Homo-oligomer: A and B are copies of this chain.
Amino acid sequence: MNRQILLNEKDIPKQWYNIQADMPTPVPPPLNPATGQPITPDMLAPVFPMNLIEQEVSTERWINIPDEVLEKYLIWRPTPLYRAVFLEKFLGTPARIYFKNEGVSPPGSHKPNTAMAQAYYNKVFGIKRIATETGAGQWGSALAFACNQFGLECKVYMVRISYNQKPYRRLMMETWGGKCVPSPSPETNAGKKFLAQNPEHPGSLGIAISEAIEDAVTTKDSRYSLGSVLNHVLLHQTIIGLESHKQLGSIGEYPDIVIGCAGGGSNFAGVSLAFVRDKIHGKKIQIIAAEPASCPSITKGSYVYDFGDTAETTPLLAMYSLGHGFVPAPIHAGGLRYHGMAPIVSRLAADKLIEARAYTQLETFAAGIIFARTEGFIPAPETNHAIACVIEEAKKAKEEGKEKVILMNWSGHGIIDLSAYDAYLSGKLEDYVLPDDEIQKLLKDLEKFPRP
């Protein structure tokens, strides 16, 4: 029948794959915006624990997953790989579609793959408390879950508009013992400044990042944690692709196409890097990042040195960007509303090892409804971007009469995002057009920095 391709826990990968060992062009180093010079590890030491900073710059190919992390992964991993037999039948495609279900984790997404690892490394470095920011709440809830498992305190600055509109994610964090406050908050100087301007300030991810970093560097035994973009985050996510690789191998399959949605880049990298490795070694395989048409970092952005955050507090990262001042439209796929793209993913895109496509909000929800009504599981709005791409490729395979094998990362469920489906089904959902000239203007400011 081959619907569920399971992996027994004894076969769980024991190492993460570090693509920095194999990239034809290395990732350009982060730069100090003041000097234009590469930053040094010690400059990051107040923000991240040194063991994670070391991982960030490591070029070791295989990095052992500590036993303590493996034990926690077994709470929900290995995750099942499903063949989407009902979707295939609906589309009448000769393609064989497989989706890796990362929605089975307690917080419902792929995010805990790195949250658990980061909590562990902070713990062994002697850190007692982690601060972070969250937009819609996927990352904050994953980190609260992980900190709870390792007995760390967790403080989450959640963008106020989401805090008010999406109480379920906050409640999830609190159920795991995390502390979640609306940002801007009166608990940091950055927050106070914005509250002074407007006591009902709706907040933004940029402000929340500033608050979390300030909190981490000014509170005893605290560090900051990021849920995407950085090299070590992508590293921890490679377990998704490594498991998929084994699972497909166990039934004699290998993908012609690997697809993931891309915001900051971590779930896309998670499913694809193990296959990019094969591609570097000569395997013919197509690897596609599906991004929102309203925030198309790779498809419409430029490969530049840009700030990782809106508030210009981070080092400069070499990435595809729409400019750090770009405020993406309020699409429901909150996790994809990021102006840039992970440096590793960006470098691979520049080297044509991966490609990107953009989908409109309405296209993605149409795809999500098809998925929910064939495969049953209701996908997260972010995941719907990958599904839209899968459906496009499956239709193409049908036209060409080709038995293509497609692997998709089903990055999370949409149970907490059902109001977005409601908006779609009742015709209230909008598409957003990206103002090209505005982006050119935002990117112009970056011309003073070196090119990657």
A interface residues, Cβ below 8 angstroms from B: 1-4, 6, 8-10, 71, 74-76, 78, 86, 104-106, 108, 145, 148-149, 167-168, 171-172, 174-177, 369, 372-373, 375-378, 415-416, 418-419, 421-422, 425
Contact = CB atoms under 8 A, between A and B. Distances in A.
Contact of A378 (B175, B419, B421): B175
B425 A175 contact: yes
Nearest to A373: B148
A334 B71 CA distance: 35
A78 B3 CA distance: 11
A373 B151 CA distance: 10
A108 B415 contact: yes
A149 B376 contact: yes
Nearest to A116: B376
Contact of A1 (B9, B174, B175, B375): B9
B419 A416 contact: no
A290 to B, nearest CB: 21
B378 A172 contact: yes
Say what secondary structure dominates the interface of chain A: helix
Contact of A9 (B3, B145, B378, B425): B3
A419 B174 contact: no
A410 to B, nearest CB: 12
Given A6-B6, A106-B378, A375-B75, A175 B145 contact: no
A105 B415 CA distance: 12
B9 A8 contact: no
Contact of A171 (B145, B149, B419): B419
A4 B73 CA distance: 11
Given A175-B418, A419-B167, A106 B376 contact: yes
Contacts of A104: 104
Nearest to A77: B4
B171 A421 contact: yes
Nearest to A421: B175
Given A108-B415, A372-B176, A415-B415, A422 B75 contact: no
Contacts of A145: 376
The 10 closest A-B pairs by CB, nearest first: A171-B418, A106-B376, A3-B74, A75-B376, A175-B421, A171-B422, A106-B377, A4-B9, A6-B6, A168-B418
B376 A76 contact: yes
Given A4-B9, A105-B376, A176-B372, 7 more contacts: A3-B75, A75-B376, A75-B377, A106-B378, A175-B369, A175-B425, A177-B373
A174 B106 contact: no
Nearest to A106: B376
A1 B74 contact: yes
A168 B2 CA distance: 32
A386 to B, nearest CB: 18
Q: Which of A71, A74, A86, A108 has the most CB of B within 10 A?
A: A74
Nearest to A8: B6
8 contacts: A1-B74, A76-B376, A104-B104, A106-B376, A145-B376, A168-B415, A171-B421, A415-B415
